[in-house]
């Protein structure tokens, strides 16, 4: 099994961000993970913290399961390049460029790809920023230019 690409220039210049059309939300619960109906919650993300469990799923699914304290309606952008979990600078370059455009991010690194949750109202803007970042990298410009 390959462990992914580590070279930042290669990662930035060859990434092809894809926008998931679904609207996701963040929910939290203090119930034990083993008691949750994960097959029907269809979580995109599960994070266990001492205060509780954070789950990212669709608003419709969250509501249908009785979760009403939902926050951060967002869309997921996946970077369709197999980045190494040890790659240095990829997330920093992406979040820095999005920060400069006033777009908040919640980033998750999976084994194969990185995923960026951005406010739904700014998803198209975020896509443009990331596409420009890839173009800039192909043209040899530094990520922070």
pLDDT score recorded for residue 69: 87
Specify if 113 maps to a domain. Answer: yes
Specify if 2 maps to a domain. Answer: no
Which residues are bridge partners to 121 per DSSP?
Answer: none
**Cα–Cα distance between 21 and 127 in angstroms, integer?**
12
pTM: 0.90
Task: Give the model's confidence band at 71: pLDDT under 50 very low, under 70 low, under 90 confident, else very high.
Answer: very high
Q: Domain of 99?
A: 8-138
- Please write the tens of the pLDDT for every residue from 91-110: 999 999 999 999 999 999 98
Nearest to 93 by CA among 132, 45, 47, 44: 132
CATH of the domain at 31: 3.30.2130.10
Specify if 94 maps to a domain. Answer: yes
Residue 145 has pLDDT above 80, yes or no: no
| Furthest CA-CA distance within the chain | 51
Specify if 143 maps to a domain. Answer: no
- Please write the tens of the pLDDT for every residue from 31-63: 999 999 999 999 999 999 999 999 999 999 999
Specify if 3 maps to a domain. Answer: no
Specify if 54 maps to a domain. Answer: yes
Contact 95, 104 (CB under 8 A): no
User: 8 phi and psi, to 5 degrees?
Assistant: -60, -40
Specify if 114 maps to a domain. Answer: yes
Average pLDDT rounded to a whole number, residues 16-29:
96
- Please give the C-alpha separations between residue 122 and each of 46, 125, 144, in angstroms, as whole numbers: 23, 5, 20
Total domains present in the chain:
1
Specify if 68 maps to a domain. Answer: yes
Which is it for strands 17-19 and 71-79: parallel, antiparallel or unpaired? antiparallel
């Amino acid at each position: 099994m390959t462990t992914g690409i580590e070279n930042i220039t290669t990662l930035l210049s060859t990434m092809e961000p894809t926008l998931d059309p679904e609207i996701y939300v963040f929910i939290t619960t203090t119930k034990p993970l083993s008691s949750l109906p994960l097959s029907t919650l269809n979580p995109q993300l599960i994070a266990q913290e001492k205060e509780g469990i954070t789950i990212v799923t669709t608003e419709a699914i969250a509501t249908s399961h009785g979760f009403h304290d939902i926050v951060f309606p967002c869309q997921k952008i996946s970077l369709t390049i197999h980045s190494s979990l040890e790659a240095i600078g990829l997330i920093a370059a992406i979040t820095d460029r999005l920060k400069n455009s006033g777009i908040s991010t919640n980033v998750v690194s999976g084994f194969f790809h990185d995923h960026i949750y951005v406010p739904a109202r700014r998803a198209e803007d975020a896509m443009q920023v990331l596409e420009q970042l890839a173009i800039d990298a192909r043209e040899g410009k530094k990520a922070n230019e």
